[in-house]
Every structure is written in C-alpha cells, then in structure tokens.
C-alpha cells in the first residue's frame, strides 16, 4: 500500500538486518519437538540456573508495597548504584562514584545498544570483534555508523587485530568495542591487554566500550579482568556488567554501565528520554542479590565448569577434541574435518536432525564464525551426556550418511 510517507511494510533501519540464522535451527528444533523428539537445546545462551532465592523473596515482598508501583528512576535508585559500586570495589578493587560513574541499564544488551546512539552517528565508525555477539555489530550500525572488524581467529595477538582494524577502517573509528571473555569464541585476555587497549585509546582519543557479560565465569583459577582495573581507564573507558550470567538473572533485565563519568552522564540523559527505569521491586531485589548473595556467582561458575567438563570430555571420547574454554558458558567447536564440506548452518541442522541436539551455527556470529558451531552450557550434565551420545552416533555415521548428502532438501 502506498502512503504519503512511502510504502507500508517498508521500514527504516531494520530492513538491512540479515535474517537471524539461529531462527532456522530453532524452527527445526520446534518441528522435531512437535513430532515427539526429545531435542537437547544447547543453542540459545539462555541460563537455566535459578536466580538467588534471596532475590526472589525480596521481589515478592517489594511488589506488595504500592510505593514500588510508581515510575522509578531511569538511571537506577541510589542504593542500586551503591550496590554495583560496592561489588566493583570488592570484586575488582575498582573505586567508582555511584553518583557519576554508574547507571543501571535494562541488561547489558539495552545498555550497549543505546550507548551507541550517544557515541556514534552516520559518518562515524566503530571497531568490533569478529565473529561477534550480534548486538556488537548491529548496535553501531543501527546508530548509522560503519563497522570495522577485528578478527578473533586471525592467528595473531588479539590486540594487534584491533590495532590493524583501526588502521584500515574509514572513517577513523571513534569507538572500540571489546568483550572478554568473548562470546562466541570464548577468547580470554589478561589485564595487560586491557592496559594496552586503554593506552591506545588515550593516545588516539577513542572511546573503549567493554561488554563484560562473562565477568564471573572464568575457570581453573582464571579471573577475567575488568577494563577499569587498567590505569587511566576512567578517562576513556566504560564497562557493561550484568546480573544475567553472574547471578543467573537473565529475565530480570538488570545491567549497569560503569566507568567514565561523561559517558555515563550521556547515556543517563538519553535514557531519561527513553524510559522510566526498571520496575522498582526488581531494582530492590537486584540490590539484595549483590549484597546478600555475593558468593552466588561462584556457585554459577562451578555449575558451568562442570558442564564444560562433561561436554568437552564426552566429545573428546567420541573423537571430537575441543580445547576446554577458560571462561564463558559456551564451547566454541571447530566443525570436525569429516564434515568440512558442510556450512556451519548445514552442520547445525544435521546435528539437530540426527543427534537431536540444537547448537548455534557459527556463521550467525558473522565473518570468522563459518567453520564453527557454538554449544551453550544450559542443560545439566545428564542431558549433556545424552547430547554427547547423540553426537557420537552422528560422528560414527560420518558424512557418508546419505542424509548428509541430501542436506539441501527441506529443513
């Protein structure tokens, strides 16, 4: 239909977004489930571990208080901002001013997406890791900016990948998005890399945005560094910390932007126009989670580590050897040689159909992901064991399985 403003059904910004390849695997999963199959879903990184009981109880209590039914503060109530600053002091030895250096966001994802609106506009550029958690690419693009990619599988130093991407990207990038431990590749870095990034940003006058969604999911003694631990970071850097993974509070949508006061103020100004803040009982319960369940991230971490071991050991026994990740809730697995002729989407569909295991095709995370699939550790060890048995059958059957060669048939 033609209107004065253009065609209904023709949209701005979203029309250039590619179809989500993850949806293809999801559709097959649902079809199989409708047909009665028990599909183990290791695709979407949707945490299955319950949230801390103290937070659940506090939420139930706070919701009965009518004073909490009103609009709240869009940058977060003061005690919530104090709680995140206390956590940063305790956990990372970083001092932050709750008035100027911390703001609550509706999860790290919303925080990052809207942050790009105040940092970028058409004619600007940002550098993002590649492959990438999709919003890292699309948030700058939705803000109208160009995106340069720093390959995570380039074989060299991760920092060099960013420096090279910076040098070759036109126009000169204003923003560098970092995110370590990294989803999907599980790449980790140490404080030295953060320091080099901060030094580089200060020298070149660029902003560093560190998405720290897996802050508490390091294994075997590895402690992921906060970028704010680097000297001089508060001049150029902000960090997104989230309760989603650390406290297993995905659906509550509580995250924070902390660090450089000017950038925090810029996001606060934008958000004051966009939202009235998270429902206050949720903010109150989030305070309780951080203050009264400070060891919960440790429990969550132990659960994911045990699942990581179950998956990596089981797959290795089946002939698919994957280096166990040092962090995150994922296993990033190179597609076995025998299946090299399949794309990551084809291989993921094959696993869903034949092993009854849903995984995320690496190509969904952009360039550099094509030769991989990602397992999310969101089922327990017993279910992971069942997944491994299904995958073993597929590996044994090999690509000679006639169903593989008919892969271009229906999904």
Among 43, 107, 131, 259, binds ligand PLP (CB under 6 A): 107
CA distances (Å), origin 69, targets 13, 215, 272, 278: 34, 32, 18, 11
Closest Cα to residue 286, out of 320, 251, 258? 251
Output 218 or 255, the one with its CB closest to ligand PLP: 255
> CB 395 → ligand PLP: shortest distance, Å?
28
* Only segment of 29-37, 104-112, 273-281, 293-301 that touches ligand PLP (CB under 6 A): 104-112
Tell me how far apart the 2 most distant CA atoms of the chain are, in Å: 65
> CB 177 → ligand PLP: shortest distance, Å?
10
Output 59 or 395, the one with its CB closest to ligand PLP: 59
Among 195, 242, 246, 260, binds ligand PLP (CB under 6 A): 242
* Only segment of 153-161, 242-250, 296-304, 354-362 that touches ligand PLP (CB under 6 A): 242-250
Both structure tokens of 222:
């590895």
Output 174 or 253, the one with its CB closest to ligand PLP: 253
Distance CA 58, CA 54 (A): 6
Query: In what order do the strands lie in the sheet containing 330-334?
Result: 330-334, 372-376, 360-361
Both structure tokens of 262:
């000017």
Q: How many residues bind ligand PLP (CB under 6 A)?
A: 13
The residue sitting closest to ligand PLP, measured at its beta carbon, is: 107
Among 22, 133, 247, 372, binds ligand PLP (CB under 6 A): 133
Output 242 or 283, the one with its CB closest to ligand PLP: 242
* Only segment of 65-73, 106-114, 228-236, 362-370 that touches ligand PLP (CB under 6 A): 106-114
Output 85 or 135, the one with its CB closest to ligand PLP: 135
Output 80 or 355, the one with its CB closest to ligand PLP: 80
Among 52, 134, 148, 255, binds ligand PLP (CB under 6 A): 255
CA distances (Å), origin 161, targets 27, 49, 178, 269, 321: 35, 35, 12, 33, 27
Among 49, 108, 120, 267, binds ligand PLP (CB under 6 A): 108
Among 58, 75, 82, 109, binds ligand PLP (CB under 6 A): 109
DSSP codes of every residue in 346-411 = HHHHHIIIII-EE-EEGGGG-TT-TTEEEEE--S-HHHHHHHHHHHHHHHHH-TTSHHHHTTTS--
- The sign of the dihedral angle between the CA atoms of 167, 168, 170, 173 is negative
The footprint of ligand PLP on residues 188-217 (CB under 6 A) is 211, 213
Among 51, 179, 344, 360, binds ligand PLP (CB under 6 A): 179
Is residue 225 within 8 A of residue 189, CB to CB? The reply is: yes
Please give the residue ranges that form the binding site for ligand PLP (CB under 6 A): 45, 107-109, 133, 179, 183, 211, 213, 242, 244, 250, 255
């Amino acid at each position: 239909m033609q209107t004065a403003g253009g065609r209904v059904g023709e949209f701005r910004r979203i029309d250039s977004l590619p179809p989500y390849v993850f949806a293809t695997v999801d559709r097959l999963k649902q079809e199989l489930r409708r047909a009665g199959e028990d599909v183990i879903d290791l695709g979407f990184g949707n945490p299955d571990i319950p949230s801390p009981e103290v937070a659940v109880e506090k939420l139930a209590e706070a919701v009965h208080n009518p004073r909490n039914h009103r609009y709240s503060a869009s940058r977060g109530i003061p005690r919530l901002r104090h709680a995140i600053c206390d956590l940063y002091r305790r956990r990372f030895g970083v001092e932050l001013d709750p008035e100027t250096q911390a703001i609550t966001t509706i999860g790290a994802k919303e925080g990052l997406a809207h942050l790009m609106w105040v940092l970028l506009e058409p004619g600007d550029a940002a550098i993002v890791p590649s492959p990438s958690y999709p919003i890292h690419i699309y948030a700058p693009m939705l803000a109208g900016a160009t995106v340069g990619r720093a390959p995570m599988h380039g074989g060299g130093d991760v920092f060099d990948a960013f420096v090279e991407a910076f040098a070759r990207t036109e126009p000169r990038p204003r923003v560098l998005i970092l995110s370590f431990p990294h989803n999907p590749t599980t790449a980790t870095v140490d404080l030295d890399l953060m320091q080099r990034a901060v030094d580089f940003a200060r020298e070149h006058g660029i902003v560093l945005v560190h998405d720290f969604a897996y802050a508490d999911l390091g294994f075997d003694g590895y402690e992921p560094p906060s970028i704010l631990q680097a000297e001089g970071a508060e001049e150029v850097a902000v960090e997104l910390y989230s309760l989603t993974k650390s406290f297993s509070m995905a659906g509550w949508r509580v995250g924070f932007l902390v660090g450089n006061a000017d950038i925090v103020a810029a996001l606060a100004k934008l958000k004051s126009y966009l939202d009235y803040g998270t429902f206050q009982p949720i903010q109150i319960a989030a305070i309780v989670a951080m203050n009264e369940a400070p060891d919960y991230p440790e429990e969550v971490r132990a659960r994911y580590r045990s699942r990581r071991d179950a998956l990596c050991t089981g797959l290795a026994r089946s002939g698919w050897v994957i280096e166990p990740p040092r962090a995150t809730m994922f296993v990033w697995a190179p597609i076995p040689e025998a299946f090299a002729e399949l794309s990551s989407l084809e291989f993921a569909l094959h696993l869903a159909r034949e092993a009854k295991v849903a995984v995320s095709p690496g190509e969904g995370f952009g360039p550099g992901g094509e030769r991989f699939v990602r397992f999310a550790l969101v089922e327990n060890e017993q279910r992971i064991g069942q997944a491994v048995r299904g995958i073993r059958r597929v590996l044994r059957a090999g690509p000679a399985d006639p169903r593989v060669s008919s892969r271009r048939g229906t999904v």
